[in-house]
């Protein structure tokens, strides 16, 4: 093995035992593996010993070994005859609060065999983390939550494997990236203290656990690498994202933002990493993503407003008749409305410009995006002033978090080599629109890089080589977690960010409304 | 901790978590333990995590930790409030082919709480290893053998614990020393290849296994240290014996002989260890211990023959009426018969001296040891010429093994600082008698040291400090196993040893028959 990575699968030809060399089967195998991997210690899962003599002799001592690297050392988790053609699979899991995504990989080469996803069945208990944590405190509540997710995974594993003619017991290694609460519920650990000051998880670094102990129906000797967290509000999903983005390896500073249930931001490079999470007190109530509906078929994800006719050109996912609007659509819409003067610098609808597109319902102005005649719902599809106000608060919160974090280390946004945007949000958002409304800083568009499902991406990497497992621990140990201090200064920045794109137009030189650059509003 | 030994039980006061220090419960505990034990890595049994938050908070972060040292690292296997008075126990097990002995200890101080023993229930399958190995090859045979010993242990554990008001789940650490086959059957491993050339065990160094995985009903997180073997015929019981005898620490060379089902001999000092086992081909068929019956109440263990009257003065175990004669009694008897001229230098009965004590049954001479009138069996208690011939072969085998082993490294018997004799045999044997018949070399009697149950003794030490666990691995790695080569030279030595005490009386200067030293028999 001359390269730096070590395959989990090693094919060995052992010297058969003789009267001159009566080393036992297990110890003979361990010796050969130590020499191959150049490592002082290799454990054998004790359950493997029962079949070992037969496998060795039937294979004439030519065997295929399946290995796993626990935090500090190697462990043998499977052994077959060298010629055995059965696949050896790995499974990466993105354990989302709302949605769980699975990726089946070939453990030898790391290539993807199949993917699937399912809605987190804990949703029947409550859609958010808080409701589930409270439920876990009821009698058998934790047990029920744990059973829901484990059963959900087991069902999904059976189907995913069947789609590629792989047997669940051919899965030898798993990796799981989830937020801290989801990880606790998955492990059957009490999440009670996560939401109570001083917000303490049961465990930061769970390491590797036997799949059997977790109730997962895969190979009984399979190990599950559980991504570590750095606190109650900064979970393994984000560690996985950092791993996937590779910002911890970059010489120049990059930023990673993951907008899921929460907004989490990591800033750093090969020397340092600093992070904060969006749950930063009352200023951010409502979060940055409670805009519109979840992306799905028939949902508006792109909008353009014709500068001359002010007609709305909409795009829906899968080009189906429109039934609603998702976050990226709302951002597109707000940017276009602002550029066309249909909302002002405070995000308020301008009736004089919007004309007949405006309707007042229960004393609140609404803008008709799709008239009833063209909407699949049969009623007008509108966005209200309240929705726009909520968007303004969200975008201001996002910008303020980004500004605070970069400011805390004296980095200007333009110094960022790359700005990674993870999650579904990152895949669909129009960066230009986000800049126009001042949600994201005014960087050249090519610095914005969507990462897709970075949690799943990181979980996949963790199954590829043992190097990544060391990286995970190093990332966790290197992150400085910045507790967002919602003080007067923060609130001032937040207030300044509540304008489109900002009270200080110099921060957004590329944004022009009509022919003129923006000026600060009166009073600023 | 300024001393060299580390207690398995550590009482810690943790700094409670705060907003400034949000380290998770498990990681906080691990940090404190790492610092206390001055070790870079400590694992927590994942099953402990479920109760951890409650234990920490109810105890106000003052806890008692129960640790175990696996081969290379520490693992936390239990945690209670610091003030919790429940005992923390350990269990040492001597896993004999015939008899199983248990010793319950206080894990904190190492003191013995109670002991018990039971006949190995696998005896119903077969009294010896060979019969059991063949049975294990039948369908469900191995399962049955494993279940017999595990159930036997579980029953014994319940009773042993009850005798000291300890609960089985308060046993957190176990150590098991047995021969290689018994260890395999205990672990549920296939012993098939142990008896087939080239005689390969499944595993030499099983390390530590979770008690739960073995089916033992003790604390679910308890670990079982299983003594390693160095081959099919040299088991963990003897490694335990070496540990207990401490010969591996001595500056001057010592010898350890363990006469159990087999005879095993270890020679060495702090620099080297060389060992051989008695199953050395046809010359030793019958072994060294197939003499007489198992020691027990009413069995003759000591005999003196009055030099004038030739009356037999017998001693029985527990002074009960005689019902038979055990190995040490046979050796005593043979020595006395030889000293009184009742058997000759070849071990043949001398009718002219024995007189009326001799009877011929089916053409074979018998010596009446206890007449029917005084025996509990109601018939004469005799020893036949065949028994004596068998004894001669046994003692010759023992002496030849000792001579060959010491000779192989150029050590004369008189160079031995101590000669340890382990097992029941060692506790009961009269060294002087054994020297007279030439079974043991002619050393000053104070060099012979009975060790008692050295297997149990070693298993107990393994529960005392982690230092002994390192010693176990070092002993295993240091032993050179001498395969007794039954060649012409060995057979010549064996033939020479088949006289009383030996063809070469210079080897036994202390042995005198009557007033004169012994001379070689005619023809030598």
Residue whose entry in the numeric block shows the structure tokens 């001592």: A61
In this model, does residue A211 exceed pLDDT 80?
yes
| pLDDT(A286) > 80 | no
Q: Do B50 and A19 touch (CB under 8 A)?
A: no
In angstroms, the CA A440 to CA B291 distance is 92
The shortest C-alpha distance from B361 to chain A (Å) reads 45
- Give the pLDDT score at B97: 92
Residues 6+ apart with CB under 8 A from A156: A100, A102, A116, A118
Residues A433 and A416: their CA atoms lie apart, in Å, by: 19
Mean pLDDT for B295-324 is 90
Tokens of B88: 């923390």
Instruction: Please identify among residues 282-341 of chain A the ones whose CB lies closer than 8 Å to any CB of chain B.
Output: none
**What percent of chain A clears pLDDT 90, i.e. is strictly above it?**
75
**Do residues B384 and B220 make contact, with C-beta atoms less than 8 angstroms apart?**
no
Token pair for A458: 């990181």
Is there a contact between B188 and A483 if contact means CB atoms under 8 Å apart? no
| pLDDT of B117 strictly over 80 | yes
Tell me the shortest Cα–Cα distance from A69 to chain B, in angstroms: 15
Mean pLDDT of B325-337: 91
Average the pLDDT over each of A139-148, A288-297, A330-339, B108-117 and give the range with the smallest value.
A288-297
pLDDT at site B446: 96
Q: Does B279 touch chain A (CB under 8 A)?
A: no
Mutate to test the interface with B, among A45, A53, A185 (most CBs of B within 10 A): A53
Helix (H, G, I), strand (E, B) or coil at A115: strand
- Asked whether the beta carbons of residue A198 and residue B22 sit closer than 8 angstroms, the reply is yes
DSSP string across A368-389: EEE-GGGSTTSS-EEEEHHHHH
Q: Cα-flanking dihedrals φ and ψ of residue A213, to 5°?
A: -65, -25
**Residue B282 clears pLDDT 90, i.e. is over it:** no
Residue to mutate among A19, A24, A73, A476, with most B CBs inside 10 A, is A24
Cβ under 8 Å to A: B residues 465-484: 483
Q: What is the ipTM of this complex?
A: 0.89
Asked if B30 and B61 touch (Cβ cutoff 8 Å), the reply is no
Q: Is the pLDDT assigned to residue B516 strictly greater than 50?
A: no
Looking at residue B140, its pLDDT comes to: 97
- DSSP string covering A289-339: T-SSB---TTEEEEEEE-TTT--EEEEEGGGPPP-EEBHHHHHHHHHHHHH
Q: Lowest mean pLDDT: which of A86-95, A224-233, B17-26, B419-428?
A: B419-428
- A3-12, A384-393, A510-519, B50-59: least confident range: A510-519
Residues A90-111: what's their mean pLDDT?
A: 95
pLDDT band at B128 (very low <50, low <70, confident <90, very high): confident
pTM equals: 0.89
Which of A190, A192, A213 lies nearest to residue B46, judging by beta carbons? Answer: A213
> For residues B143 and B191, what is the distance between their CA atoms, to the nearest angstrom?
12
Average pLDDT, chain B: 90
**Can you tell me the distance from the alpha carbon of B416 to that of B254, in angstroms, rounded to the nearest whole number?**
5
Find the distance separating the first CA and the last CA of chain A, reported in whole Å: 66
What pLDDT, in 10s, does the model give residues B476-515? 999 998 877 777 888 899 899 999 999 999 999 999 875 4
- The pLDDT of residue B429 is 84
pLDDT confidence tier of residue A523, bands split at 50, 70 and 90? very low
CB pair distance less than 8 Å for B206 and A46: yes
State the smallest CA–CA distance between residue A372 and chain B in angstroms.
52
Residue A2 predicted with pLDDT over 80: no
CA–CA dist A146, A129 (Å, integer): 13
1-30 of B, contacting A, C-beta below 8 A: 17-19, 21-27
Nearest C-alpha neighbor of A189 from the set A157, A226, A219, A221: A226
**Hey, is the C-beta of A226 within 8 angstroms of any chain B C-beta?**
no
Distant-in-sequence, close-in-space partners of A472: CB < 8 Å, separation ≥ 6: A227, A228, A239, A243, A462
Could you tell me how many CB contacts below 8 A there are between chain A and chain B? 123
Q: Residues 66 to 125 of A: which have CB under 8 A from any B CB?
A: 71-73
Q: How far is CA A234 from the centre of its chain?
A: 11
Nearest to A465 by CA among A167, A209, A109, A136: A109
pLDDT tens digits along A425-449: 777 889 999 999 999 999 999 999 9
Facing residue for B22 by CB, picked from A25, A26, A200: A200
Nearest to B90 by CA among B77, B103, B73: B103
Question: Which contacts qualify for A119-128: CB closer than 8 Å, 24 or more apart?
Answer: A120/A96, A120/A149, A120/A152, A120/A182, A121/A148, A121/A149, A121/A151, A121/A152, A122/A97, A122/A148, A122/A149, A122/A185, A123/A98, A124/A148, A127/A98, A128/A97, A128/A261
CB contact under 8 A, B53 and A190: yes
Q: Do B199 and A22 touch (CB under 8 A)?
A: yes
Contact B247, B269 (CB under 8 A): yes
Is A46 close to B17, i.e. CB distance below 8 A? no
* Partners of residue B231 in chain A, C-beta under 8 Å: 22, 24
Please name which of A488, A449, A483, A66 lies closest in space to residue A247, comparing C-alpha atoms: A449
Q: Is A486 on the interface with B (CB under 8 A)?
A: no
Contact with chain A for residue B524, Cβ under 8 A:
no
State the pLDDT at residue B287: 46
Distance CA(B361)–CA(B379), nearest Å, equals 13
For the record, the structure tokens of A140 come out as 């058998």
* CB within 8 Å: A203 and B26: yes
Residue A516, min C-alpha distance to chain B (Å) = 48
- Residue in B31, B53, B75 to test binding to A, most A beta-carbons within 10 Å: B53
How many beta carbons lie within 10 A of that of residue B90, not counting itself?
Answer: 28
Q: Where are the alpha helices (DSSP H) in A203-246?
A: 211-214, 236-245
Question: Measuring CA to CA, which residue among B221, B157, B147 is closest to residue B186?
Answer: B147
CB-based contact, A235 to chain B, within 8 Å? no
B-chain residues near A229 (CB < 8 A)? 24
- Residue B491, phi then psi, degrees to nearest 5: -65, -35
Chain B: nearest CA to A329, how far in angstroms?
A: 38
Instruction: Check CB contact under 8 Å for B23 and A204.
Output: yes
In whole angstroms, give the CA distance from residue B205 to residue B455: 17
Contact list, B203 vs chain A (CB under 8 Å): 24-27, 44, 49, 52
C-alpha span between A203 and B49 (Å, rounded):
8
Residue of A52, A189, A201 with shortest CB distance to B50: A189
- The reply to whether A516 touches chain B by the CB within 8 Å rule is no
Residue environment code for B163-200, b if the CB has 16+ CB neighbours within 10 A, otherwise e: eeebebbbbbbbbbbbbbbbbbbbbbbbbbbbeeeeeb
């Amino acid at each position: 093995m001359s390269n730096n990575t070590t395959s989990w699968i090693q094919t060995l030809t052992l010297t058969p035992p003789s009267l001159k060399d009566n080393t036992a089967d297990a110890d003979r195998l361990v010796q050969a593996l130590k020499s191959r991997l150049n490592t002082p210690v290799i454990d054998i899962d004790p359950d493997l010993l029962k079949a070992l003599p037969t496998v060795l002799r039937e294979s004439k001592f030519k065997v295929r070994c399946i290995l796993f690297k626990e935090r500090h050392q190697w462990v043998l988790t499977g052994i077959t005859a060298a010629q055995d053609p059965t696949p050896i699979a790995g499974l990466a899991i993105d354990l989302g609060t709302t949605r769980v995504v699975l990726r089946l990989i070939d453990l030898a080469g790391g290539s993807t065999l199949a993917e699937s996803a399912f809605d987190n069945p804990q949703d029947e208990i409550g859609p958010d983390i808080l409701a589930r944590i409270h439920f876990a405190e009821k009698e058998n509540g934790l047990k029920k939550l744990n059973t829901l997710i484990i059963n959900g995974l087991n069902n999904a594993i059976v189907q995913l494997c069947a789609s590629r003619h792989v047997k669940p017991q051919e899965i030898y290694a798993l990796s799981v990236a989830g937020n801290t609460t989801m990880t606790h519920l998955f492990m059957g650990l009490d999440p009670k203290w996560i939401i109570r000051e001083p917000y303490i998880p049961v465990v930061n670094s769970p390491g590797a656990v036997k799949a059997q102990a977790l109730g997962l129906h895969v190979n009984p000797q399979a190990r599950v690498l559980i991504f570590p967290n750095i606190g109650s509000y900064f979970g393994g999903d984000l560690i996985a994202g950092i791993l996937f983005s590779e910002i911890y390896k970059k010489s120049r500073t990059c930023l990673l933002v993951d907008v899921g249930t929460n907004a989490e931001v990591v800033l750093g490079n090969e020397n340092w990493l600093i992070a904060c999470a969006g749950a930063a007190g009352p200023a951010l109530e409502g979060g940055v993503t409670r805009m519109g509906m979840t992306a799905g078929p028939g949902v508006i994800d792109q909008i353009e407003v014709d500068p001359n006719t002010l007609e709305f050109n909409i795009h829906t996912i899968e080009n189906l008749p429109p039934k609603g609007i998702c976050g990226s659509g709302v951002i597109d819409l707000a940017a276009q409305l602002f550029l066309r003067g249909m909302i002002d610098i405070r995000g308020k609808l301008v009736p004089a410009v919007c004309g007949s597109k405006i309707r007042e319902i229960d004393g609140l102005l609404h803008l008709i995006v799709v008239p009833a005649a063209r909407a699949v719902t049969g009623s007008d599809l509108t966005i209200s002033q309240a929705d726009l106000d909520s968007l303004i608060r969200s975008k201001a919160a996002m910008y303020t978090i980004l500004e605070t974090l970069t400011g805390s280390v004296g980095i200007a946004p333009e110094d960022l080599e790359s700005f990674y945007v993870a999650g579904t949000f990152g895949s669909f958002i129009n960066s230009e629109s986000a800049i126009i409304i001042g949600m994201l800083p005014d960087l050249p568009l090519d610095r914005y890089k969507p990462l897709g499902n970075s949690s799943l991406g990181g979980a996949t990497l963790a199954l590829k080589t043992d190097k990544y497992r060391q990286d995970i621990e190093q990332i966790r140990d290197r992150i400085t977690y910045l507790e967002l201090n919602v003080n007067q200064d923060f609130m001032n920045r937040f207030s300044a960010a509540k304008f489109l794109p900002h009270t200080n137009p110099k921060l957004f030189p590329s944004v022009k409304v009509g022919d003129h650059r923006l000026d600060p509003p009166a009073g600023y």
